[in-house]
Structure 1
Amino acid sequence: MERQTRQDPRVMRTKRLLRDALIRLMEEREFDHITVQDISDHATVKRATFYLHFKDKVDLLESCIDTVLDEFEREVSIRHEDEKFDYTIGKPHPNFIQMFHQIAIHFHFYRALLVTNRIPYFTQGLMAVIHEFVSTGINRTEPDDNNLTARREIIIKYVESAFLEVIIWWIEQNMPYSEEEMASQLMDLSIQGPYIRNPVLEAKKEQ
């Protein structure tokens, strides 16, 4: 039986202080204008201590991103048991709610990396998770291409891009709607589109 090595609590605390300091700084200014000394000062640790744990500020940033993305992917991934969900009950799928919940509990992180800064490494990683979420959902909801209004890959790209922009807007506006309301609206848009009734057909009927 393998023994798992437990990380020293002091090391964990130092790394947390450095990560928190980086995010606070990134909410205020661009990443390129932040130095290791800035991070160390805000974390109240010595510069030498920083280099005991991270090669440079990019290494620290990527460590932060990997941790948050791993959690995001784990919490929003669609599992086999999710197939039993009844989409006709008028409530958002728990995974949709969990998506916005994850953003809410890491609000400062998402704002720093998607609004104040736009970090490609994070954006690409987040989009990859959203892509898997969207494609899995669409493929399970409607596996028949004949029942889709456009090519499957185009629909997936369209929906995942919309998801990301809606998330960014929600963060920019300081989360004006609840997690549940955002989840409900985004799920309805994904399944039904923006119209209750087709406005083109309605206009044609009136002619």
Structure 2
Amino acid sequence: METERNETDRRRKRSQLLLKQAFEELMREKGFTAMTIQNITDRADVHRGTFYAHFPDKFALLEHSIRDKFHTVLGREMPPDTDWDPDHLRVLVRTVLEHVRLLYGRCSPVDTFNPLFERSIRDELAALLKHWFEQLRADQADWAVHVDTMALMTSWAIFGAAVQWSKSNENISVDEMTDRVLAVLAEGAGRIA
């Protein structure tokens, strides 16, 4: 029984890998809009049913691809079990800034792509921040703001700054922008009030 389950898991992983590889190749060759599920399954040499066993549509595969790419980029800069630390936050902010600028510089705006990209990155960012904040909260029980709210607001602040910076014509270095984002996160509106 266990052997059959392991074999099924290996087949699922292999099929998913083939689909993702085919998708990435077709993205480079045709672009997202022109590619069809049939193109993906033909390139991966799997049946359409196999595709639908993994993804409901090509948008779900795109979202999965975006999230995988973001995890890969973060993994190069930080180990996956990284916990809260000001230095880790600096690396996270810088990584998001660079990743967003690279993608916005490479992709022309597509109404269906940008919202999916933005939501995927923000969600992944919020999940990581929530994990960090939950670890901190275990040590400090007197927080007035819920962890989910803090993670969501912080992810929007980081990602929003990255989007604006990537689209800006100002000549602000990634280090300077990282410092600005960290200053806002650390000081917030407290000094203004």
Q: Same fold (TM over 0.5)?
A: yes
Find the aligned partners of 1:167 and 1:86 in 2 and give their Cα distance.
19
Which amino acid in structure 1 is aligned with residue 66 of structure 2?
A: V
1:96 aligns with 2:93: yes
Q: 1:79-132: per-residue Cα shift (whole Å, max 9, x none)?
A: 44555x565xxx96222222222223333466635xx54655444322220111
Find the aligned partners of 2:64 and 2:106 in 1 and give their Cα distance.
12
Per the alignment, residue 144 of structure 1 pairs with 140
Which amino acid in structure 1 is aligned with residue 121 of structure 2?
A: L
Which amino acid in structure 1 is aligned with residue 95 of structure 2?
A: Q
Structure 1 residues 1-207: aligned runs within 5 Å: 16=24, 18-20=26-28, 21-22=30-31, 34=33, 36=34, 52-53=42-43, 59-76=57-74, 79-80=80-81, 85=85, 93-108=90-105, 112=109, 116-117=111-112, 120-141=115-136, 143-146=139-142, 148=143, 150-173=145-168, 176-194=171-189, 198-200=191-193
TM-score, normalising length from structure 2?
Answer: 0.58
Does the CA-based 8 Å contact 1:103-1:110 persist in structure 2? no
Find the aligned partners of 2:136 and 2:108 in 1 and give their Cα distance.
32
Q: 1:49-95: per-residue Cα shift (whole Å, max 9, x none)?
A: 56623879x94554343223212124336644555x565xxx96222
> Any gaps of 5 or more consecutive residues in structure 1?
6-11, 24-33, 41-47, 201-207
> Any gaps of 5 or more consecutive residues in structure 2?
1-6, 15-20
Find the aligned partners of 2:130 and 2:113 in 1 and give their Cα distance.
24
Other structure's SS at 1:112 match: coil
TM-score, normalising length from structure 1?
Answer: 0.55
Q: Structure 1 pair 65/164, CA: closer, same or farther in 2 (3 Å)?
A: same
Q: Deviation at 1:180?
A: 2.5
Does the CA-based 8 Å contact 2:93-2:158 persist in structure 1? no
Does the CA-based 8 Å contact 1:101-1:179 persist in structure 2? yes
CA-atom RMSD in angstroms:
4.5
**Structure with bigger gyration radius:** 1
Other structure's SS at 1:22 match: coil
Other structure's SS at 1:93 match: helix
- What percentage of residue pairs aligned between the two structures are identical? 10
Highest RCO, 1 vs 2 (Cα 8 Å, sep ≥ 6)? 1
Find the aligned partners of 2:135 and 2:178 in 1 and give their Cα distance.
18
Q: Structure 1 pair 135/155, CA: closer, same or farther in 2 (3 Å)?
A: same
Count of residues in correspondence between the two structures: 168
Q: Deviation at 1:167?
A: 2.8
Which amino acid in structure 2 is aligned with residue 22 of structure 1?
A: G
